[in-house]
A and B are shown apart, each in its own frame.
Chain A
Amino acid sequence: AQSVAQPEDQVNVAEGNPLTVKCTYSVSGNPYLFWYVQYPNRGLQFLLKYITGDNLVKGSYGFEAEFNKSQTSFHLKKPSALVSDSALYFCAVRDGLGGGYQKVTFGTGTKLQVIP
């Protein structure tokens, strides 16, 4: 069974400071990993994904995430936080083992609050 954990319900960071939102996962095979963001009163939007290749993945709005296989982590990062980054962030994982349909499992979400 696959699973994903977001250990922090909320992360607070000052505007201009670097931010990290943590995510760890568990799958049988190689993982496909995703980050989605949900801004207030808006739907979920795709930020970035890791499939294979470089461990550092760059996505929308200046976000990036680092895949660490030994630590089974896929933390979301941004060098300088903006107030407009305040939102709910979801990590998701899909087992890349085999072909065909594989369900995506989402984490419980981390609320990011950027303080002016």
Chain B
Amino acid sequence: GAGVSQSPSNKVTEKGKDVELRCDPISGHTALYWYRQSLGQGLEFLIYFQGNSAPDKSGLPSDRFSAERTGGSVSTLTIQRTQQEDSAVYLCASSPSPQGPDTQYFGPGTRLTVL
């Protein structure tokens, strides 16, 4: 079946512009995660959604970052007034449920470059 998809695959923007990154999780997966992968930094947790529950936003690095998940499916990560340090690969993952040790299924990522 279809996996997690993300768009765009690459995004180049100028400092100060806003960007939107999209994630389509696997159908039926209730949990959705956003991570950031910077060169040499590993995976940094950003935000987590589970059904209609309040999202866990504890990983968002600043108030310039926000995310929403519409209808329990597609999610959009928005970065306002982008800075050069925002340059990274943004990964989305979904899992059937956060209850228990479910495997996360990752999308291919969006590579964001802020000039």
Contacts and interface: CB of A to CB of B under 8 A. Distances in A.
Interface in B26-63: 33, 35, 40-43, 45, 48, 50, 53, 56, 58
Contact of A32 (B45, B101, B109): B101
Interface in B92-111: 93, 98-99, 101, 103-109
B42 A100 contact: no
Interface size class of B (residues with CB under 8 A): 20 to 34
A101 B103 contact: no
Interface residues of A, number: 25
A107 B42 contact: yes
A25 interface: no
B91 interface: yes
B42 A105 contact: no
Contact of B42 (A49, A94, A96, A106): A106
B45 A103 contact: yes
Contacts of B104: 36, 46, 104
Contacts, number: 55
B48 A103 contact: yes
Interface in A8-63: 9, 32, 34, 36, 42-46, 49, 51
A90 B103 CA distance: 13
A116 interface: no
Contact of A101 (B43, B93, B98, B101): B98
A43 B107 contact: yes
B56 A108 contact: no
Contacts of B58: 103
A46 B105 contact: yes
Contacts of B42: 90, 106-109
B1 to A, nearest CB: 15
Interface of A: 9, 32, 34, 36, 42-46, 49, 51, 90, 94, 96, 99-109
5 contacts: A44-B93, A94-B101, A108-B41, A108-B42, A109-B42
Interface of B: 4, 33, 35, 40-43, 45, 48, 50, 53, 56, 58, 91, 93, 98-99, 101, 103-109
